[in-house]
Chain A
Amino acid sequence: MVDVLIIGAGVTGSAIARELARTERSVLVLERELDVCEGTSKANSGIVHAGHDAKPGSMKARMNVMGSRMMPALSRELDFPFENNTSLVIGMSAEDRETLEELLEQGRKNGVADLSIISGQEARRLEPNLSENVTCALRCGTGGIVDPFLLNIALAENANVNGVRFEFGRAVTDIKRERGGFVVKCADGSLYEAKFVVNAAGVYADKFHNMVSAHKLHITPRRGEYLLMDRKTQGFVRATIFQCPTKMGKGVLVTPTCHGNLLIGPTAEDIDDKEATATTAKGLAEVLAKAGLSAEHIPARQVITSFCGLRAHEDGGDFILGECADCPGFFDAAGIESPGLTSAPAIGVYMAELIQEKDRRPEKKNFTAKRKGIPCMATASPEERRRLVAENPLYANVVCRCELVTEGEILDAIHRPLGAKTLDGIKRRVRAGMGRCQAGFCTPKQMDILARELGTDIGAIVKSGPEARILEGYTKEDDPVGEIAFGMKNRTDTEAQ
């Protein structure tokens, strides 16, 4: 029996795991996918919100402000990209101006520092591409951007290094209270016993909560579609540009990413299907149209990819953090929608404290708070490049030309704690395939490396999930016997027998 079993290795689950790792207890994270950061954590705006949006006194407000304050130091400690790029909420009318005043007041109540309202002219001086229609803006000096993948990965890696066990491909199907603890059953038949369960299951958090509680939760997946542009657009905006929330909705944002891309989105559409991460023609058109209201000449021709994420919107509208009232030992971290990414480090601390209060354990003496990230040849100076290459020549062997990712970095991604096992896993760790050709050139090279390092055949390499095979069998010439042609039989299987 483990002390704490966490469902979900997204950013919330990973943050909680890392905080729990500070104390002497056994922690297990179950994740249904093959890697961390596979749900909402991988498809969001990557924004560190200042904290003026949430209602004062709400959990969202508390966690947001605390998370935003933690982020700069945490980014240094865990070595993930974070940039304090500031943000602007833009207004285009007298009515918007009033809303901005309210946001300013709300932000101050929430304890957000460095907020001010500036004129449209001043806003355009800061951001020359802003629309001529902008008449005022709320400037937030603490606004920032973060690499959402690496935040999640860094938290999980560091938790793992400090003793937290992660098991992948474990889709939880049943949770039962038994003998003062819980028995958790997975789709593959595996069974786990735990003293406490932490529910950090994103859009599925209601499902798990409702297995053990009479006080039902209801989470609506709220679809958000995005467009990502080439790094050539770097500098189009420097700050994150939010639209003024109106009765018509929250609007879309225009923001740089930590890596110099331009990101626009998201839409907000409530749907029923918790798996519906498909983009839609309507949604993508809406993103472009709405972003065009904020900034003139959005470089739409520079789009390199689009994606879609599902926010876990709980009916109550706030984060649900804490022990379930009618199921002691079952802790929820549910309804984690925006500003969930910003809040994750704070949620980790908060949830770990709750568990510590319930079951106090001594601090772990050998806890290692620091994590060193993978070197990045793309951003290294010529001197650093020379040094890294002297250290390991594979840092000079470029695999992904668009993002300048080398074999050395890919090997690091594969062999680190909780290393990459899929193409998407490599992509999120070192950005191979994330550039303008979208892995057209480097997919075969990455597959060769991954197969070699994992001791498997390239036919077994997947993009993300177990069924996401890149290849389906052999050509005729490479399959002279004929029995493994047409995907009817896989050569690796034949050889294994």
Chain B
Amino acid sequence: MADRTAKIVIIGGGPAGLSAASSAVKEGVDPSDVLILERDHVLGGILNQCIHNGFGLHTFHEELTGPEYAERFEKIVKEERIPCLLDTIVVNIEIEKGAEAAASPDGTGIDACKAGSGNDGAALSAACGRKLVSAMNKTDGYFTIEAETVILAMGCRERPRGALNIPGYRPAGIYTAGTAQRFVNIEGRMPGHRVVILGSGDIGLIMARRMTLEGAKVEVVAELMPYSGGLKRNIVQCLDDFGIPLKLSHTVVDIRGKERVEAVTIAQVGPDRKPVPGTEETYECDTLLLSCGLIPENELSGQLGVKLSGVTSGPVVNESLETSVPGVFACGNVLHVHDLVDYVSEEAAQAGKCAAKLVLGKCPAPDAPERVIPVLAKDGVRYTVPAEIRLNHMDELQTIRFRVGGVYKGASVVIDFDDQIFRSQKKKILAPGEMEQVILKKSDLEHAADLKAVTIRVAQAE
């Protein structure tokens, strides 16, 4: 049935996929048992077009550009001779027929694999149902790979104009910031010379600076929300330093120009985020760039029956970053959108390690008693990754990542063990643009014998 097999198939050769692959090999998986499938003609994903610096401060303690950062991981993959198929698109993933019953998508984690016996990796992952990954490329044609585990690392896409319901004409000259970034940084072409940017996501901010450096005039950055969705450092370095105005609580209400953008009208929005009549300002321009949010690309995950979070649009995962489909892991921006690539690498390394443990039979015996502790988000915390912790699978330290839903000054991040405050940490500022994290100790959870749930919340300053 399958044209080839692999123990770990990684979908996506961007920062997440590369880190997951190197981590799996470090954990002891034979490199030849791993396979990276990448849709572009090179590894590195979107980092290749991120030629600005600021990458790697946490991971390598130095400032790298996107391509340099990617190169560090590509080097490991090349040195370890981890197989990669480039220009390859995954068309479908399914659980091998007959195994669906064992792999119920309702049960999170490998607890649904208890049909497997003993502590043998192959038996364990086989009990999870082998995954059939169908893909195609110019060289190998259409083919199917039988995999024991799959790591989803497909990244995310930008929200397009159409999804924002911006009225007006539909001319050329309207691009997502990432598309414009590719034109400028990869093709060496300018998408336009007078620019209005909607949305203050990081790519939008970076592109405001980039376009300015290339001689374009960035008229304004309009942001629907009363706060920016980007990193503070980007607002300072990309807008403030260049005198580009950021208009919060503003949105685009009209686009003029039948063939090419001729003008863009923005207006202030009220607390209901609806434009306030009479506040319209029209900017003559030839380009509108959009940086209005990133959406994890989970179409394949959806086909596979992976349970997705309504908040992140990414899979719901446990401490091993394993999705509701046993043996399928997720990491990077396909799981939840990150602010820094360093965290993507760190998270993906965890996914790679956990997938490796599963295929190497290093996981606890599936019939061993286990405690599952849900991790809940409350009061300003929008979600947590992971959403639950199985104690016997937990490492000594477990990072819980999350984002907040508003700007909080002087508030605290509180960890509750059931209804008791376990720990509280004061934060100068919490903002939706920055990912937050707390770290839990396994021993702390073990000591709390009757613990039903861990809750992460924001406690506002008095």
A residues lining the B interface (CB < 8 Å): 227-228, 232, 275, 277-281, 283-284, 303-307, 382, 385-386, 389-390, 393-394, 396-398, 401-402, 404, 436-441, 443-444, 458-459, 462-478, 485-487
What are the residues of chain A within 8 A of B134 when measuring CB–CB?
A: 382
User: Can you name 6 A-B residue pairings with CB atoms under 8 Å?
Assistant: A278-B254, A438-B160, A441-B179, A473-B190, A473-B193, A487-B193
Question: Which of B136, B139, B190 has a CB less than 8 Å from the CB of A472?
Answer: B190
What are the residues of chain B within 8 A of A305 when measuring CB–CB?
A: 160-163
Q: What's the Cα separation between A286 and B255 when bound, in Å?
A: 19
Instruction: Write the B123-155 contact mask toward A (1 if CB under 8 angstroms, else 0).
Output: 000000000001011111110100000000000
A287 → chain B closest CB, angstroms: 10
- A477 & B163 in contact (Cβ 8 Å cutoff): no
What are the residues of chain B within 8 A of A401 when measuring CB–CB?
A: 39, 89
A492 → chain B closest CB, angstroms: 12
CB proximity to A under 8 Å, residues B175-228: 175-176, 178-179, 182-184, 186-193, 214-215
Q: What's the Cα separation between A284 and B163 when bound, in Å?
A: 12
- B188 & A474 in contact (Cβ 8 Å cutoff): yes
What are the residues of chain B within 8 A of A275 when measuring CB–CB?
A: 258
- A281 & B275 in contact (Cβ 8 Å cutoff): yes
* Given known A-B contacts A305-B160, A382-B134, A474-B188, A281 and B258 have beta carbons under 8 A apart: no
What are the residues of chain A within 8 A of B142 when measuring CB–CB?
A: 382, 385-386, 389, 396
- A474 & B190 in contact (Cβ 8 Å cutoff): yes
- B162 & A306 in contact (Cβ 8 Å cutoff): yes
- B183 & A486 in contact (Cβ 8 Å cutoff): no
* Given known A-B contacts A281-B167, A284-B165, A473-B189, A393 and B89 have beta carbons under 8 A apart: no
A292 → chain B closest CB, angstroms: 15
- B171 & A396 in contact (Cβ 8 Å cutoff): no
- A397 & B87 in contact (Cβ 8 Å cutoff): yes
Interface residues of B, dominant DSSP: mixed
Q: What's the Cα separation between A471 and B259 when bound, in Å?
A: 13
Question: Which of A228, A306, A468, A474 has a CB less than 8 Å from the CB of B259?
Answer: A468
What are the residues of chain B within 8 A of A280 when measuring CB–CB?
A: 167
What are the residues of chain A within 8 A of B118 when measuring CB–CB?
A: none
What are the residues of chain A within 8 A of B253 when measuring CB–CB?
A: 281
What are the residues of chain A within 8 A of B157 when measuring CB–CB?
A: 436-437, 440-441
Instruction: Write the B242-281 contact mask toward A (1 if CB under 8 angstroms, else 0).
Output: 0000000000011110111000000000000001000000
* Given known A-B contacts A284-B167, A303-B165, A486-B215, A463 and B187 have beta carbons under 8 A apart: no
Question: Which of B139, B162, B187, B275 has a CB less than 8 Å from the CB of A444?
Answer: B187
Residue of A nearest to B274 (CB): A281
- A474 & B189 in contact (Cβ 8 Å cutoff): yes
Question: Which of A398, A467, A477 has a CB less than 8 Å from the CB of B188?
Answer: A477
* Given known A-B contacts A472-B192, A477-B188, A478-B188, A304 and B39 have beta carbons under 8 A apart: no
Residue of B nearest to A457 (CB): B189
* Given known A-B contacts A393-B141, A396-B137, A475-B214, A304 and B190 have beta carbons under 8 A apart: no
What are the residues of chain B within 8 A of A476 when measuring CB–CB?
A: 214-215
* Given known A-B contacts A305-B160, A398-B89, A393 and B139 have beta carbons under 8 A apart: yes
Residue of A nearest to B210 (CB): A475
Q: What's the Cα separation between A396 and B39 when bound, in Å?
A: 11
Residue of A nearest to B189 (CB): A471
Question: Is there a chain A Cβ closer than 8 Å to B107's Cβ?
Answer: no
Question: Is there a chain A Cβ closer than 8 Å to B28's Cβ?
Answer: no
What are the residues of chain A within 8 A of B171 when measuring CB–CB?
A: 463, 468
* Given known A-B contacts A443-B179, A464-B259, A469-B260, A389 and B141 have beta carbons under 8 A apart: yes
A290 → chain B closest CB, angstroms: 15
- A468 & B172 in contact (Cβ 8 Å cutoff): yes
* Given known A-B contacts A404-B91, A486-B215, A437 and B137 have beta carbons under 8 A apart: no
* Given known A-B contacts A462-B172, A473-B189, A438 and B162 have beta carbons under 8 A apart: yes
Q: What's the Cα separation between A459 and B190 when bound, in Å?
A: 9
Question: Is there a chain A Cβ closer than 8 Å to B286's Cβ?
Answer: yes
Question: Is there a chain A Cβ closer than 8 Å to B60's Cβ?
Answer: no
What are the residues of chain B within 8 A of A475 when measuring CB–CB?
A: 184, 188-190, 214
- B193 & A390 in contact (Cβ 8 Å cutoff): no
* Given known A-B contacts A232-B302, A396-B138, A486-B215, A279 and B87 have beta carbons under 8 A apart: no
What are the residues of chain A within 8 A of B422 when measuring CB–CB?
A: none
- B189 & A440 in contact (Cβ 8 Å cutoff): no
A289 → chain B closest CB, angstroms: 13
B454 → chain A closest CB, angstroms: 30
A236 → chain B closest CB, angstroms: 15
What are the residues of chain B within 8 A of A477 when measuring CB–CB?
A: 188
B187 → chain A closest CB, angstroms: 6
What are the residues of chain A within 8 A of B139 when measuring CB–CB?
A: 393
Residue of A nearest to B176 (CB): A440
- A440 & B178 in contact (Cβ 8 Å cutoff): yes
- B169 & A277 in contact (Cβ 8 Å cutoff): yes
What are the residues of chain B within 8 A of A438 when measuring CB–CB?
A: 160-163
- B179 & A444 in contact (Cβ 8 Å cutoff): yes
Question: Is there a chain A Cβ closer than 8 Å to B434's Cβ?
Answer: no
Q: What's the Cα separation between A467 and B168 when bound, in Å?
A: 18
Question: Is there a chain A Cβ closer than 8 Å to B158's Cβ?
Answer: yes
B169 → chain A closest CB, angstroms: 4
Question: Is there a chain A Cβ closer than 8 Å to B170's Cβ?
Answer: yes
B401 → chain A closest CB, angstroms: 24
Q: What's the Cα separation between A465 and B214 when bound, in Å?
A: 27
Question: Which of B170, B179, B287 has a CB less than 8 Å from the CB of A307?
Answer: B170
What are the residues of chain A within 8 A of B286 when measuring CB–CB?
A: 472
A234 → chain B closest CB, angstroms: 12
- A386 & B141 in contact (Cβ 8 Å cutoff): yes
Q: What's the Cα separation between A227 and B167 when bound, in Å?
A: 11
Q: What's the Cα separation between A7 and B436 when bound, in Å?
A: 62
Q: What's the Cα separation between A445 and B215 when bound, in Å?
A: 25
What are the residues of chain B within 8 A of A440 when measuring CB–CB?
A: 157-158, 160, 175-176, 178-179
Residue of A nearest to B171 (CB): A468
**3 A-B pairs with least C-beta separation:** A305-B162, A478-B188, A438-B160
Given contacts A284-B167, A437-B158, A471-B190, 15 further A-B contacts (CB under 8 A): A228-B162, A278-B255, A389-B141, A389-B142, A397-B138, A438-B162, A440-B157, A440-B175, A462-B172, A465-B258, A472-B193, A475-B184, A475-B188, A475-B189, A476-B214
Q: What's the Cα separation between A389 and B142 when bound, in Å?
A: 7
Q: What's the Cα separation between A303 and B160 when bound, in Å?
A: 10
Q: What's the Cα separation between A406 and B75 when bound, in Å?
A: 30
A171 → chain B closest CB, angstroms: 14
- B191 & A470 in contact (Cβ 8 Å cutoff): yes
* Given known A-B contacts A463-B172, A478-B188, A486 and B160 have beta carbons under 8 A apart: no
Among B190, B259, B275, residue most surrounded by chain A Cβ atoms (within 10 Å): B190
B337 → chain A closest CB, angstroms: 15
What are the residues of chain A within 8 A of B255 when measuring CB–CB?
A: 278
What are the residues of chain B within 8 A of A396 when measuring CB–CB?
A: 136-138, 140-142
Instruction: Write the B101-137 contact mask toward A (1 if CB under 8 angstroms, else 0).
Output: 0000000000000000000000000000000001011
What are the residues of chain A within 8 A of B175 when measuring CB–CB?
A: 440, 443
Residue of B nearest to A443 (CB): B179
B307 → chain A closest CB, angstroms: 15
- A471 & B167 in contact (Cβ 8 Å cutoff): no
Q: What's the Cα separation between A33 and B179 when bound, in Å?
A: 27
A447 → chain B closest CB, angstroms: 8
- B183 & A471 in contact (Cβ 8 Å cutoff): yes
A90 → chain B closest CB, angstroms: 25
What are the residues of chain A within 8 A of B158 when measuring CB–CB?
A: 437, 440
- B141 & A437 in contact (Cβ 8 Å cutoff): no
What are the residues of chain B within 8 A of A390 when measuring CB–CB?
A: 141
- A467 & B260 in contact (Cβ 8 Å cutoff): yes
Q: What's the Cα separation between A228 and B162 when bound, in Å?
A: 9
